[in-house]
């Protein structure tokens, strides 16, 4: 394997610590979390105590002030044990950066330290029943009336939605202006009219507390506006490259985990008196998958190098998101096949990872939308 030069010794020490945490505090409980439909709230405070939440936030706001590669380590180690119930990366590297990059000093001081400690869980509410990847189609409104906004609408497929204490709500503050009238509003647990719907039952990610959110005349102080009014769509576009890279990072590590599980399984499982690994088809198939995952990892690592110096563009991040998630699903399918009938049994990690992987091609913008983004960067507009 090609040595990964983007990580240094400090990153590796951090990885060892995260790996122990995942193996001791997360993996033993994940099956139970899948059955109950959400992770225990206690795991959030444990992660905070260990410095595993919001590590890239400055120390003044409760973080460790380290580079984003520490967060990458967390994402990879989470994917390695298929701990898909944890919403840590969304909390730490999507919600917290929005508040840090666009929030007021008061908002940063009020939310970020508690998010880093695991005392507050963050979520972002973009998707709606009639608006998924198309953020311009958002119908939720936040109309200003004096010193507050009145928020009305509904959101769905919201990760961390059931546990969430603070939600960044994408809403129209000027509905007649379309995308140009979009703002980001911080809605907090306990605000009258803010209700959480049922936890959604999904094909995979069964331990992740994905839920519906409803806003019925929720009065939100104007101080909870994130950034400037009517600039929400611009903020969303600025953060998308990093958000999509997170999906690519998890996809590659998850695919590698599947190959590792399968390589172990085929050396032990016997068919017609010999191990499955003795068959050329098995060995060649795993060689092909490992090669493709290695290619994907090199690409992801190069994207991370660009990200660290502020040069990762939206089109390249979209390439990584779509290609790596497509590859992840391909690897899962092939590895299930090599497991035979046992690959379809929920007790085997490959079965759960197979189910969990499918949504990677949908959220964060569907892979079809990713291809549209890429073609536009090539100067290929849609036919009119």
d(CA 305, CA 102): 24
Active site residue 10: no
Exposed/middle/buried for residue 211 (C-beta within 10 Å: 0-12, 13-18, 19+): buried
- Nearest CA-CA partner of 111 in 63, 157, 161, 77: 63
d(CA 125, CA 132): 11
CA dist 193 → 35, 89, 196, 218 (Å): 30, 28, 10, 5
Using DSSP's 3-state secondary structure scheme, residue 125 falls into strand
d(CA 365, CA 359): 11
- Nearest CA-CA partner of 211 in 167, 152, 249, 171: 167
CA dist 346 → 200, 353, 384 (Å): 19, 10, 47
Using DSSP's 3-state secondary structure scheme, residue 287 falls into helix
Q: Choose the catalytic residue: 243, 253, 305, 372.
A: 243
Q: What is the DSSP string of 338-353?
A: HHGGGGGSTTSHHHHH
Structure tokens at 121: 């869980």
Four-residue CA torsion sign, 82, 258, 293, 328: negative
d(CA 92, CA 327): 26
d(CA 281, CA 236): 46
Q: Phi and psi for 241 in degrees, rounded to 5?
A: -55, -45
- Positions annotated as catalytic residues are 243
């Amino acid at each position: 394997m090609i040595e990964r030069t983007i990580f240094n010794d400090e990153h590796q020490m951090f990885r060892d610590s995260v790996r122990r945490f995942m193996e001791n505090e997360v993996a033993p409980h994940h099956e139970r979390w899948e059955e109950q439909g959400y992770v225990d709230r206690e795991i959030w405070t444990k992660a905070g105590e260990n410095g595993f939440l919001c590590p890239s936030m400055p120390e003044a706001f409760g973080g460790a002030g380290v580079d984003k590669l520490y967060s990458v380590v967390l994402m990879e180690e989470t994917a390695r044990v298929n701990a898909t119930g944890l919403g840590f990366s969304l909390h730490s590297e999507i919600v917290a950066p929005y508040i840090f990059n666009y929030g007021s000093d008061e908002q940063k001081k009020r939310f970020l330290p508690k998010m880093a400690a695991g005392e507050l869980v963050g979520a972002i509410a973009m998707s709606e029943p009639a608006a998924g990847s198309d953020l311009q189609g958002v119908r939720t409104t936040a109309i200003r009336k004096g010193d507050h906004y009145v928020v009305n609408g509904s959101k769905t497929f919201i990760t961390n939605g059931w546990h969430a204490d603070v939600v960044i709500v994408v809403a129209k503050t000027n509905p007649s202006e379309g995308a140009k009238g979009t703002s980001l509003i911080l809605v907090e647990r306990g605000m009258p009219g803010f209700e959480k719907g049922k936890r959604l039952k999904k094909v995979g990610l069964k331990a992740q507390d994905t839920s519906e959110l409803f806003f019925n005349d929720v009065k939100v102080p104007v101080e909870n506006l994130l950034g400037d009014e009517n600039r929400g769509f611009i903020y969303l576009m600025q953060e998308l490259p990093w958000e999509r890279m997170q999906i690519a990072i998890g996809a590659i590590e998850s695919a590698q985990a599947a190959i590792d599980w399968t390589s172990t399984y085929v050396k032990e499982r016997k068919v017609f008196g010999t191990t499955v690994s003795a068959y050329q088809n098995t060995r060649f198939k795993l060689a092909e998958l490992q090669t493709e995952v290695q290619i994907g990892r090199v690409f992801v690592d190069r994207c991370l190098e660009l990200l660290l110096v502020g040069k990762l563009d939206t089109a390249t991040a979209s390439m990584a998101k779509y290609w790596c998630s497509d590859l992840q699903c391909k690897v899962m399918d092939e590895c299930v096949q090599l497991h035979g009938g046992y690959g379809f049994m929920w007790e085997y990690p490959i079965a759960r990872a197979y189910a969990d992987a499918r949504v990677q091609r949908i959220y964060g913008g569907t892979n079809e939308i990713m291809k549209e983004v890429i073609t536009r960067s090539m100067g290929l507009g849609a036919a009119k």
